[in-house]
Amino acid sequence: MKHSSTLITRSSNQLLGSREAAAVLGVKLPTLYAYVSRGLLRSRPGSGGRARVYARAEVEALRQKARGERGAEAAGALRWGEPVLASSITAMTAEGPLYRGEPALALARRDVPFESVAELLWTGTLPESSPRFAAQQGGPDLARLARALPAGASFSAWQVAVVAMLAPHDPGRFDLSRGAVLPRGRSLIRWLAAALAFATDPRRAAASLRAETVAQGVATALGVRPDPAKLRAIDRMLTLMADHELNASTFAARVAASAQADPHACILAGLCTLSGPLHGGASDRVEALLAQIERPADAARIVHERERRGERVPGFGHGFYRDEDPRARMLLETARAVGGRARGVREIEAVIETMTESGRPGPNVDTGAVALRCALGMPGGCVAGIFAVGRCAGWIAHVVEQAESGELLRPRARFEPRAV
């Protein structure tokens, strides 16, 4: 009996390396590290302090808990829970996302061109000089394309239509290798920027496609005079929107890629998901709030009326950031610098002041982006479209990563009979 007890003690005190611990848990290394970061498992310095080790007893206890709660944890993982797949693209931190280890906010503050940020997400290397993105040749006729949708169609609807019409003009799109997908990604970003023109003035689309940079293409499509300060501001917005880990639209694009859908179809999956009011379309709700405010002094009354009715004030709070969305902070700072006197910027500042006094969550990226839209003199309702231009860089990165994994994303549902 004593001999058996000794064996148990030795086994309990055994230390495991990272790969051994991951094997016991049946997870990949990134998931193991996520357990540690969330306080679910402790790691200790190994011999010489060079590698981390884990107590087998604690690893076994976590495995038993995971087995007992597997169904609940799997369901919770789809709602800001535990990581559901491994990715080397973006890491989430309280200070904002890290793109391949580079802080997104630092890239934006250094005014790194958006094209370079996209290449970083795709290749893991930040180019020394800004690359040129060109639209594919032989696409749909612009004049015919301009008649595809009825007057008043949204910026997002135009982007969906343009990508859908581009696909048949690209017979080689079914090649899912990295070397084939990345050129198409560069082209799709340029077309998404040019598609913004169709919602207001289709004549700007051709000039947008010819512009030197993506930021110039966005400015041209939206009728903004592309001076250096404004172009830097647009680059910042695109960079801060480029990726945000497994948000709804990115996950949708990855699901499509896992089924080996072509890049155009994957981007369409992302675009359609982004249009929802709980995702990219949230900026339209912020715009609707601004439409209620005739002058900054009205902001407090409008906010308090919404709270009295039990309505949520759009553009505030975020599922990941506890205090405030750091991307919003930089976008608001940029808005003040390029057009702080614009009416919309002053109205948003008044709303933020009221929310802060009420102890409410801070502004998120949607509020910051709408403020910058106002500062730049862009047409209302275009933020979701700009969001899509920037996020396309992340979608392409995730599409390539998912396709190279060779795995089909097919989660299970927990059947629960309910009355209909």
CA–CA distance, 252 with 47 (Å, rounded to integer) = 43
The 52-55 sheet, strands edge to edge? 15-17, 52-55, 44-45
| Helix or strand holding residue 17 (H, E) | strand 15-17
* Residue linked to tokens 């502004």: 363
Active-site residue, from 264, 279, 318, 398:
318
The one-letter amino acid code at 317 reads G
CA–CA distance, 198 with 154 (Å, rounded to integer) = 9
Q: Which two tokens stand for residue 171?
A: 């017979």
Annotation marks residue 111 as catalytic: no
Active-site residue, from 243, 262, 325, 366:
366
CA–CA distance, 289 with 89 (Å, rounded to integer) = 34
| Helix or strand holding residue 16 (H, E) | strand 15-17
Length reported for the chain: 420
Q: Which two tokens stand for residue 315?
A: 């553009």
What DSSP character marks residue 313? P
CA–CA distance, 196 with 188 (Å, rounded to integer) = 13
Q: Which two tokens stand for residue 152?
A: 């008043």
Annotation marks residue 366 as catalytic: yes
Catalytic site residues?
A: 318, 366
